[in-house]
Structure 1
Amino acid sequence: LKLSAPNTSHQSVSGNLYFQIASFLKGKSCKVFAAPFDVRLPIQNRKKDDEVTTVVQPDLCVICDPEKLDARGCCGAPDLVVEILSPGNSKTEVQLKFEVYEEAGVKEYWIINPVEQNLIIYTLTNGKYTGSKPYAPGETIASTVLIGLEIPVEQIFEN
């Protein structure tokens, strides 16, 4: 695993998306968090901390249940997770996170590719992810978890 800092396009996408989501969530009960932020994922929604198995740091995550938040971060599956690919991400790493989020019950998972300027939204249905087509600039994405959140794709990739 490479632990180098994210590159410029990664940070730009993260900042743009954080701004869009945070603006949308103003006055709502859900909160958005940016990495570094620990998400402790239990197996099958067990909440006792000693049963937690996996700690991840998604680029962005949205948590709507305040019970999941504590001083150390989030314990339990976020409602929405966003991962922004970096050139250093291996296919194995991407696949592993996909499986971890799916198993933990993350309802919506966005994978963003800053190099190709597209993203895919995975929605959890009966415990399995269903992927969207790749969205590109000129199109608008809509969240199925944060109802009403719509973002023009080009705004995600603005410099």
Structure 2
Amino acid sequence: MTIPTADDQPTESSGPLLEHLARLLRLRTENLLTPLGLRPRHFVTLTLLRDGGGTTQQALAARLAMDGTNVVGLLNELESAGLVARRRSPEDRRRHIVELTDTGHATLTQAECAVVAAEEEVLGFLSSEERHLLYALLRKATSETEVRCTEAVL
């Protein structure tokens, strides 16, 4: 068995670069979301709820790739802040439907402005076209991953 050397490694590994970029963006985003009482996971959850409309806690857990128990805790935080509301599903009384409140919509709008500012700081050296391409590629990669992960769970 031979031990791989630096010459054997791929020269274009995206993982470490994505991780580093995500860390920089996460740190800056956290600093800007904190005054709004939000953390990045709150922001992601609110965005998914806005974009997808009301959804069950179970479906939200799958989209967030989180354990259901952790999602309940996350939703408890958002609900106590008045950002989301849970109601019983009319089709299945055992399930809860989660929806953004008006306060949740307003807070999400403020948070989106904060995230734009964070992205400007971290990605400001990219041209508009490069940012659009980066977004499109990330969107494609994440949506394809979501589909494969969801299919694997079912």
TM-score, normalised by the number of residues in structure 2: 0.30
Q: Which has the higher strand share?
A: 1
Q: Which has the higher helix share?
A: 2
Which one has a bigger Cα radius of gyration?
2
TM-score, normalised by the number of residues in structure 1: 0.30
Q: Higher relative contact order by CA 8 Å / sep ≥ 6: 1 or 2? A: 2
